[in-house]
Structure 1
Amino acid sequence: MSDAMRLSSLNRFRHPAIRFALPVLSIVALLVSFHMCWNKCSDRAVHSPTGHQDDNFYREDRPIGQDEIYDENSEHLNSNDLGKGQGQHKSKPVDEVEEEEDGGRSQKTYKAIQCHINEDYNIPCRKEDKEVYVPFSFVQNYFEITGSVQQQEDGGEVLNWLHSYSEIKQLREKYSTKGVFMHFDHYNVEVRDRVKCVSGMDGVPVSTQWGPQGYYYPIQIAQFGLSHYSKFLIDTEKASVTQRLKDGQVNRELWEVPGGATVHSVEDDDRGGQVVEFKNTESFSKPGIFFSLDETADFVLTFDLKFEHNGSLTVEVMTKGRSKQKLFLTYTCSNVFIAASGNNIYHGIGADKCRTWRTFTRDIVTDVQKGAKILWKKKYTKKHISNIVGLYLRGHGWIDNISTSSSAHMAQFFAAADWMLKAQDEEGGWPIMVTRRIADGTVELPPGWYSAMAQGHAMSTLTRAFLRSKDQKYLDAAIRGLKPFDVKSKDHGVLAIFMDKYAWYEEYPTTPSLFVLNGFIYSLLGLYDLKSVAPDNSDVQRLYSQGLTSLKAMLPLYDTGSGTTYDLRHVTMSRPPNRARWDYHTTHITQLLVLASIEDDPIFATMAKRWTEYTKGKRSPHN
């Protein structure tokens, strides 16, 4: 064909769609090639879930067949390829990606193979030259590590592999009874799932840890108080406070009073000043007396309140989000901790307690969250508040000192300390009124048992309350708390003796003894706090000294060579070792760092360093 004929054929008329045909066909061919390659070389991607799978995640439903054990046509894999002890298990190759040339560069060869785990089950793996790649999801579950694929700023991805999921909290400074309690400024006790609510009667958490009905748990209450005390110390910005009503002054612009109701200032002899008296129906079917707040930033509400007989205070809030909701938090003269229905959440403030003057400090966000969980149960999503609209008053009562603030840490701390004063019994203990079953139910503590950890936490709380207020009642209660430390567990105390020699203060005073490590160290810190404040008390000096001696002698018993044990049930109960979860292991480390800051013996710093290395995957040497 001549050049003219070729040019003529190129200039001939074509349908407009024809010029798109070649690119489209090229794209289709590329997709087909990609699909074939993917089916061939991508047998299974390496997964990186954030949670652990169960133990049977990679098990196959059928036993291993003869054709999977060895095939003459399969490539021989020696023990160096798959690891020690794996050489005798030959896996039949499934798929293989042949080596190809791409611009003069050689592409890696992958082969899909089966990894035979402990002569028990297979998982899909991938072999590249002499290296075998195992799915991270299997490694994660098998070795109890954690990790996830994370996006980088440059658009790339990286696998963030962590041997321990729990962070070690370092000390800011040397431990002091006046200072932050360990790392408790990081604690948010009241938002825990096992906290039913913050009691309207006492202002402290109500636990559901070992019983759904809700009960007061001294350890949890002390941690609530110590966390708020610690937050108060480290907060660099002073809490913002807006006074809404003070000294009984009635600003009529803020009040809406329905017909038949009254609001006015009166002199109150008990308080020695002016307060606001209100009279209205108790019925929820009638409008309440409304006091406007319109607060959009600070959601801690404080007020002084007293009813003549029965009554209620209701807080109206609006939630954020696309579907904004109006919720009503009602604090009523009832002994029920919390209830909810419709868009109403009820907190009992005591059937009798509501008839005396009390100061209430309520974190409205927490109260909404706890009520929302009851209202929506499985459909629950965290509710964020956009504003507090105002409050409604029903019944006959008196109110004063209404304020909103960004926080009220010291009020919440003293709520815990004051609860300790009321809840302490004649034996100096804080009884735990719920059954505790331990070691798969083989031992049981009936309601009324003491805990050395609770005693120690209470001392740490009360000594700080004493230092803050200079009120002797807090120190006296802390000293009374020493009594159970000298009473053996079998006699309703917390004292156990290890090997007839070492005194140990039991978090769970069972028979036989458990010797829980973290609870014992918390009790030592409580004794140290009291020892620091009451240096002339010989009992606390003796108890702390003998406990410290026991810890130094027994600490190595908790070292597994790769972590720690939670207790010594494998010694005292002939049960398997109770390995400490990483969050308990890192608590052990932080506790040792605290002791290292106040005691000269190097054992605490040495053990803390070794146990820290375990969180990075290091193990002790073997023979």
Structure 2
Amino acid sequence: MKHEKIKVFNKEFEFVEFEGKKYIEENYIFSNKLIKKNHSYGYDTPKYCTDSYDHTKDYLKFSELDVKSWRIVSDDEFGIPINTYAGNQHHYPITIAHYGLQLFGKIIKPYTCYMGGHLEHSIDFSIERGNISLKAGTVTGYSLPLLFGSLISSIEIKPESIFRVHIKLSNKETVIVYEGDSKLIKGARYLSLEDFKKLDPNLNITDLRVRGSVNIAFCKDIINNPCYKEMLKVADWFVLNQASDGSWKSYFEHVFYLGRTDPMSSGWSSALGQGLAISFLTRVYHITGNKKYLNACIAGLNPFEVKSEDGGVLTYWDGQYMFYEEYPTSPASFVLNGFIFSLIGLYDLSQYGVSKAAELFNKGFLTLKKILPLYDLGNKSAYDLTHYTCMTFPNIARWGYHITHINQLFAMYCITGDENINTFYSRWKSYLDEGFSCRTN
């Protein structure tokens, strides 16, 4: 690896040559392919959503979020996330919905890969019981982060497979169940399956890790799960804090883009907030059956039919194509990720027979197909369309938002099967994976 100078647009930058390619180290030009950490170089792998979108499952990998670790987020007196803006604290529906979807994801998908590649797995989930089947070699392992004591009811091992089940108990003891004979190694009890069955069935397990081919059926007392209770607390916050017009409002003044858009007065509504809240509450309804959550979602459709200047989230592109605004700005900003999040929320609600949600989704999806090319900058995507509405240069989406765009387009392709969406998904993904950019004329 060698360092030299390279001239770009008549400005000299230091670059590093790595595997036959040259990378600029300065922040002016950013490559997702190469990152520098502690004076060493390596590849940065984007986190793509590869599972087909399902309105009842983990929402775009939100189970991997840690909302309460965000720099501007703290808790109110009831444990609901609260954001700090300009020295003041405010409930921000968008952040709270992120947190709710995080909690739901951790309940519905209680596993992470801690070593090796991903396993073939299936989950049979219900409120009362859980069943997880894992099949892979011992070089791959999954962690089932039990956020509460769980009672293992049975473990069924494939007869021909080797396996390891690492169990940590509340008394800090480690038990490893495997296909060999029982023995004690460095303070850990290795138990054969037969000896494990002789243990007290009411084990208070705090952590569970699995390697190899194994089927685990375990009691999941979801009702007493602190994560489940926390999720319901967040869901009830949305029910109790929904305005009479169906919106979840942000009660602070906000400037989306200083110098381009006017300040938004306190009490503004966001299509992103509406969409995420609906996606969250439909999922809570799915596993609880409580119609108050579904009714809140249906009421949450009202702002989609009210213009942003009148307190809703609706604006129009080219005077006829319905667009749902993340920020109700003047002039209109047409933020892409907020718009797609709102479409996903509408789709989720439409799956429960709500025809108005389906109608709003279809109209919005028509707009998405119409204007998506305007966000394509040839090697990146635009965050919004203020370069059109304000007649200026593009507001380029940083790579984190570009990855969000990619994952959203994949979800939209799963939902609609539209090949035009798939084309943009593949193209925008290639900007990251292959360093692709448009051919010049």
TM-score, normalised relative to structure 2: 0.70
Report the AA paired with residue 48 of structure 2. Answer: K
Q: Distance in 1 between matches of 2:435 and 2:285?
A: 44
Summarize the Cα distance change of 1:159–1:296 in structure 2 as closer, same or farther, 3 Å threshold.
same
Deviations 1:483-529 (A, max 9, x none): 11001111111001001121000000112110000000000011011
Report the AA paired with residue 193 of structure 1. Answer: R
Report the AA paired with residue 46 of structure 2. Answer: E
Select which of 57, 72, 89 maps to 1:214. 89
Conservation of the 8 A alpha-carbon contact between 2:14 and 2:25: no
Q: CA shift at 1:575, angstroms?
A: 2.5
Deviations 1:197-234 (A, max 9, x none): 22232x221112x3322111000000101011111111
Summarize the Cα distance change of 1:541–1:143 in structure 2 as closer, same or farther, 3 Å threshold.
same
Conservation of the 8 A alpha-carbon contact between 1:166 and 1:586: no
Select which of 66, 77, 92 maps to 1:200. 77
SS of aligned partner of 1:547: helix
Q: Distance in 2 between matches of 1:477 and 1:133?
A: 53
Conservation of the 8 A alpha-carbon contact between 2:104 and 2:284: no
Aligned to 1:614: 431
Structure with max Cα Rg: 1
Summarize the Cα distance change of 1:126–1:451 in structure 2 as closer, same or farther, 3 Å threshold.
closer
Q: CA shift at 1:139, angstroms?
A: 4.1
SS of aligned partner of 2:102: helix
Q: CA shift at 1:424, angstroms?
A: 0.2
Q: Percent identity?
A: 33
The answer on 1:575 being equivalent to 2:392 is yes
The answer on 1:504 being equivalent to 2:323 is yes
Q: CA shift at 1:170, angstroms?
A: 2.3
Aligned to 2:146: 239
The unaligned stretches of length 5 or more in structure 2 are: 112-143, 151-169, 173-223
Q: Distance in 2 between matches of 1:145 and 1:441?
A: 28
Aligned counterparts, 1:176-575, within 5 A = 176-195=54-73, 197-201=74-78, 203-208=79-84, 210-236=85-111, 237=144, 239=146, 241=148, 408-442=226-260, 443-533=262-352, 535=353, 537-575=354-392
SS of aligned partner of 1:141: coil
Summarize the Cα distance change of 1:416–1:620 in structure 2 as closer, same or farther, 3 Å threshold.
same
Q: CA shift at 1:596, angstroms?
A: 1.0
Report the AA paired with residue 380 of structure 2. Answer: G
Summarize the Cα distance change of 1:242–1:200 in structure 2 as closer, same or farther, 3 Å threshold.
farther
Q: Distance in 2 between matches of 1:451 and 1:219?
A: 8
Report the AA paired with residue 145 of structure 1. Answer: S
Q: CA shift at 1:133, angstroms?
A: 11
Q: CA shift at 1:407, angstroms?
A: 7.3
Summarize the Cα distance change of 1:481–1:126 in structure 2 as closer, same or farther, 3 Å threshold.
closer
Conservation of the 8 A alpha-carbon contact between 1:530 and 1:540: yes
Q: How many residues align?
A: 336
Conservation of the 8 A alpha-carbon contact between 1:205 and 1:220: yes
Q: CA shift at 1:469, angstroms?
A: 1.2
Report the AA paired with residue 414 of structure 1. Answer: L
Q: Distance in 2 between matches of 1:506 and 1:126?
A: 42
Q: CA shift at 1:171, angstroms?
A: 2.6
Aligned to 2:49: 170
Q: Distance in 1 between matches of 2:328 and 2:14?
A: 48
Q: Distance in 2 between matches of 1:117 and 1:416?
A: 50
Report the AA paired with residue 291 of structure 2. Answer: Q
Q: Distance in 1 between matches of 2:5 and 2:233?
A: 61
Summarize the Cα distance change of 1:515–1:126 in structure 2 as closer, same or farther, 3 Å threshold.
closer
RMSD, aligned α-carbons: 3.1
Summarize the Cα distance change of 1:528–1:117 in structure 2 as closer, same or farther, 3 Å threshold.
closer
Conservation of the 8 A alpha-carbon contact between 1:171 and 1:182: no
**Which portions of structure 1, spanning 4 or more consecutive aligned residues, are displaced by more than 4 angstroms?**
113-120, 122-127, 148-151
Report the AA paired with residue 232 of structure 1. Answer: I
Q: Distance in 2 between matches of 1:126 and 1:605?
A: 34
Q: Distance in 2 between matches of 1:612 and 1:114?
A: 29
Report the AA paired with residue 146 of structure 2. Answer: A
TM-score, normalised relative to structure 1: 0.50
The unaligned stretches of length 5 or more in structure 1 are: 1-44, 48-112, 152-156, 244-294, 298-405
Summarize the Cα distance change of 1:158–1:508 in structure 2 as closer, same or farther, 3 Å threshold.
closer
Conservation of the 8 A alpha-carbon contact between 1:506 and 1:516: yes
